[in-house]
Amino acid sequence: KCEASKLIWTKAADVDPSSTSYNVEKLIENSEYMFRVFSQNPVGMSEALTSEPVVVRTIYGKPTPPRGPLEATGMTETTCTISWREPSDDGGTPVVDYIVQRKEASKKSWQTLATVTETSLSMSDLVMNTAYVFRITARNKEGESEPYISEDPIIAGRRITPPSAPLNFNAIDITSKSVTLQWAPPSSTGGTDLTGYIIEKQYGNSKKWSKVVTLDPGHLQYCVENLKEKSELYFRIYAENSIGLSTAAGTSVISLKTHATVPSAPTEPLEIRSLGSNSIIVEWGVPETDGGAPLEGYKIAIRDTKKTMWMEVGQVSAEVQKLTIKDLQENHEYLVRIFARNEVGLSEPLESDEPFLVKKPTG
């Protein structure tokens, strides 16, 4: 298990191979955790299956507000359909419905339009050229959320068009297998909120464009990874709203950097100190070379000398050269390995020369 804010993994349990579930206890309420599971046989351990972050909660609450942006489709002089997004947190129990209210932008009083179970509502009583603001509240069995209030008024009868192209689209970082792209919002959103951006790529020896990713409108940067080494390619980006896509903004040809390799091993000294009867702290030095690609972090593994299998006990970012390892067995001897990692893969390990005995401190 791992508290999402700390990024330090600790072992929760060894589970019988016939089991496919386990109850993890002694967690901290309202903390966010991630969990991962390894399968194991006499040869070694599998890759990890890792969960999404989950928040430990024993008491249900009200949902958070519904989310925007509020989208308006099917606009005529008197009709329109509005839609929104569900809350980011339902309070631990499902949202049962939404209360939709409306007011003219120039007035103060709100009118309740409907209570709906979906995240959309159609209206047919609008007044041409009148600006409206909407207020939407989510409700679960614990009560009502704080309201979401639409950011921009919706004007009845206003024609919505596709947005203009994103601005200043360019590459700001290039490695042997990745390109980081950056852009600015379009000068026109087409009379409504953007719904996102779409990025596509094309290799220089191909006429085919392929989709890379669809991003939320808040994103103005994206790293495209796992590209073919030593290749030349182009990227293009579209802005999108509820009506459709903008014209594309594109890059000039981008040449990936020369081939990178894995980094060299972390450097000595590999220091191991006891923190108690079942914990140690391990420290090491940075590799002499990063292999031509930026270091992404370190992986740490240990082996009980009574066993043959190495077990990963943690990963840290490239800026960190130490790790606290907990839940070790007193009076057991352990060997430690440290791997450096870049986008290509793992280095050869820095390994402890002699086993370290975990024992209760004296004094």
Mean pLDDT, each 10-residue run in order, the chain (363 residues): 84 89 85 90 89 79 92 86 93 92 94 96 92 96 95 80 93 89 94 92 91 96 90 95 90 84 94 89 95 92 95 96 94 96 94 91 65
- Asked if the structure places residue 151 within a domain, the reply is yes
Q: 151: left (phi > 0), else alpha (psi -120 to 50), else beta?
A: alpha
Query: Distance between CA 166 and CA 198 in Å, rounded?
Result: 10
Q: Are strands 210-215 and 154-155 parallel, antiparallel or unpaired?
A: unpaired
**Domain identity same for 87 and 35:** no
- Asked if the structure places residue 363 within a domain, the reply is no
- Asked if the structure places residue 347 within a domain, the reply is yes
Q: Range of 237's domain?
A: 170-255
Number of domains within the chain: 4
**Domain identity same for 174 and 248:** yes
**Domain identity same for 245 and 286:** no
Q: Please give the pLDDT value at position 140.
A: 95
Last residue of a domain, one of 129, 156, 183: 156
The closest of 58, 34, 141 to 94, measured between CA atoms, is: 141
**Domain identity same for 198 and 227:** yes
* Amino acid, single-letter form, for residue 120: S
**Domain identity same for 307 and 354:** yes
- Asked if the structure places residue 319 within a domain, the reply is yes
Asked if residue 244 lies in contact with residue 252, where contact means CB atoms within 8 angstroms, the answer is no
> What CATH number did the domain enclosing 229 receive?
2.60.40.10
Asked if residue 278 lies in contact with residue 231, where contact means CB atoms within 8 angstroms, the answer is no
* Amino acid, single-letter form, for residue 180: T
The closest of 299, 361, 362, 359 to 333, measured between CA atoms, is: 359
Q: Please give the pLDDT value at position 114.
A: 96
- Asked if the structure places residue 261 within a domain, the reply is no
**Domain identity same for 85 and 138:** yes
Q: Assess whether the previous peptide bond of 185 is cis (omega < 30° from 0).
A: no
The closest of 195, 159, 196, 190 to 80, measured between CA atoms, is: 159
**Domain identity same for 181 and 247:** yes
**Domain identity same for 183 and 113:** no
Degrees to nearest 5, angle at CA 283 with 279 and 289: 150
Asked if residue 248 lies in contact with residue 235, where contact means CB atoms within 8 angstroms, the answer is no
- Asked if the structure places residue 326 within a domain, the reply is yes
Last residue of a domain, one of 220, 255, 290: 255
**Alpha-carbon torsion (255, 258, 259, 262), positive or negative:** negative
**Domain identity same for 85 and 111:** yes
**Domain identity same for 79 and 130:** yes
- Asked if the structure places residue 162 within a domain, the reply is no
Query: Distance between CA 26 and CA 339 in Å, rounded?
Result: 31
Asked if residue 74 lies in contact with residue 82, where contact means CB atoms within 8 angstroms, the answer is no
Query: Distance between CA 279 and CA 359 in Å, rounded?
Result: 9
Q: Please give the pLDDT value at position 159.
A: 65
- Asked if the structure places residue 163 within a domain, the reply is no
Q: Please give the pLDDT value at position 337.
A: 97
What's this model's pTM, rounded to 2 decimal places?
0.37
Got the DSSP string for 97-145? EEEEEEEETT----EEEEEESSSEEEE----TT-EEEEEEEEEETTEEP
The closest of 65, 73, 114 to 90, measured between CA atoms, is: 65
Last residue of a domain, one of 57, 75, 100: 57
**Domain identity same for 73 and 109:** yes
**Domain identity same for 307 and 286:** yes
